[in-house]
Structure formats: C-alpha cells, structure tokens
Amino acid sequence: MPKVLCIGDVMLDVVVKLQGAINYGEDSASKITTHGGGAAGNVASWIAHTGTQATIVARVGNDSAGAALISEFDDLNVDHTSLIKTSDPTGVVVILVDQKGERTMFPETGANSGLTLSDMPALTGFDGAYVSGYALLNPRSRTGVLEMIAKIKSVGIPVFYDTVTVGAMKEVERALILSWLPLMDYVLPNEEEALYVAGAEDVDSALKKLLELCPAVIIKRGADGAIAQERGGNRIEIDAIESAVADTTGAGDSFAAGFIATKISGGDLHASAMAGVTLSATCVANIGARPHVGHAL
C-alpha cells in the first residue's frame, strides 16, 4: 500500500459557526465545535481516508488537547509514532465561519515550533512527502524542515508543498518563499496564494512564473475547480464538484490529500487533480477540516 509522510503542524481547531451578524461588544449567536486541525494533520487524515497510509511528523503539547488529537489520529488510522509531545501547549486556532461558509483563522502555533531532522522517521517504504508551508514559515522549524526536505530528496521521494495562506506568508520576505520552490516536485497553492507568490495579476501569469521554479504546479480555485500543469506539458483545467458548502476550512488540505494519494498510486496529472476536487467537495460539506469520526473533540 502507498505511504505518505506528512510534515508540519497539528492544531486543535475551535470552529465558531456564526448564526447571524457579529454584534461587536455584545453576544452573537453561534454554534461552536472543536476538531483536529493543522494543515499537515488534516492532509494526513484525508490521505488515510482514501485508504493510503499516512504518517504525521509534528508536535503537540503534553496536555489534554494533545491527547485528544492523538486519539483522533487513532480513529482516523493515521500513524502518529513520529508525533512528539513537548512542554509547550498544543497549538490552537479559532476559526470564524460566516453564513456563506467562508472562514477566518486566528492561530496560536504553540508546540508546533521547533521541528528538527531527528523528528523524521526512517524513510524506507515512503512513496511521497507532504510539507506544510507553515512549517517553513516558522523560524524555529525552518532549518529542521529544510534538512528533512534535503534528506527526502536524496532518496528520490517526491515532495508535495502547500504554500498556505497569504496572511501567513506575509510574515517573511517573498524572496525567501521563492527560494524554496525549486526544492519541491509539486507546489499546490490556492489562486490567491499563487498570485502573491508569483507577484502576478492573473492566474495565467502566476502559473507561468511558478513553473519556472517548480516542475509541477497545481492551483486550487475553490468553486472554479483547479488548474494543473507540469513543466513542458499541457495545461489541465478541472471543474469543481457542486456541494452544499457548510465550512471551507480544510478544503485545500483535502484537495492536496486526494491529489497526492492518487499521484503516488500512479495517477496522471488529470486524474490526480480530479481526485483533489472530489475529496474537497466532501470536506466543505461538513463542519471541520477532517473526515468525521462520529464525534467532535
């Protein structure tokens, strides 16, 4: 069975689904649930959901939130033997979801900082590696994650990289982000992220620029589907699958999971992108960023 290493962040998501307008300074009606989160944790969970093996490399706190996240990984069949407990508190993100399903995130990194090469397991048996952009944006994890990428590349395992949100990327120089792209085999930004990283005003220009730096680019476009192209190959456009959107949290992570699981199993670029939009449609129909396991945390 194919196997993917997922490197990055694990968080506790506190999802606040607004039931109406925010009454600033007063009570506002909402529905609040807690779920496992963090880009790497989400991708690992959705990869396991496809029947592909997934191993998470991340850190949580030695606290009740960390214990709940580990329990959820058990339920989701995600290998967490490389998930390290630290004295720092488990990372938490508060997610406001409006009535259209759009989300705004307020993250506290917590234990996710400080990844090192020694956190990574032996690479025997892995067919692909996912790297969350949050891990490289974090200055305390950057050196360790770059060392992991170098080790992964040295044994010929393809690296799939998600750039993550523009708000997070603005914390570092854009030139630094551009310097990481040639290390990757596949980069999977959403449209806003692609435009920002490429310094482009339209998706066509962004795709062209990113292909100069990375051999394969997949741009996630939400309700407009996805665009994918390998350097020297034809551009592929995939329509989105209609879904009743409840919460867009994790949409990009589930897309990445579907794409990676199909690609490492021998799928071509079209089939892999199609698997991405299919899994993403499942994700956005539910509250939370991961497959449901029958209960919230």
Which stretch, 17-26, 102-111, 228-237, 287-296, has highest mean pLDDT?
A: 228-237
The reply to whether 289 falls in a domain is no
SS3 content of the chain, % helix, strand, coil (to 5): 40, 25, 35
- Residues pairing with 129 in the sheet: 5, 159
Q: How far apart are CA 66 and CA 96, in angstroms?
A: 22
The reply to whether 297 falls in a domain is no
Place 295 in a pLDDT band, splitting at 50, 70 and 90.
Answer: very low
- What pLDDT is recorded for position 33? 85
The reply to whether 182 falls in a domain is yes
Residue type at 244 in one-letter notation: A
For residue 244, the tally of other CB atoms under 10 A from its CB is 8
Q: Domain with 152 in it: what CATH number?
A: 3.40.1190.20
Residue type at 40 in one-letter notation: A
Q: How far apart are CA 34 and CA 186, in angstroms?
A: 31
The reply to whether 183 falls in a domain is yes
φ and ψ of 117, to 5 deg:
-55, -35
The reply to whether 151 falls in a domain is yes
Q: How far apart are CA 240 and CA 248, in angstroms?
A: 14
Tell how many helices (H) and how many strands (E) occur in the chain.
Answer: 10, 13
Place 294 in a pLDDT band, splitting at 50, 70 and 90.
Answer: low
Whole-angstrom Cα Rg for the chain: 18
Place 143 in a pLDDT band, splitting at 50, 70 and 90.
Answer: very high
Q: How many domains does the chain have?
A: 1
The reply to whether 99 falls in a domain is yes
With residue 174 as reference, give the H or E element that holds it: helix 174-180
The reply to whether 79 falls in a domain is yes
The reply to whether 125 falls in a domain is yes
**Domain with 139 in it:** 3-284
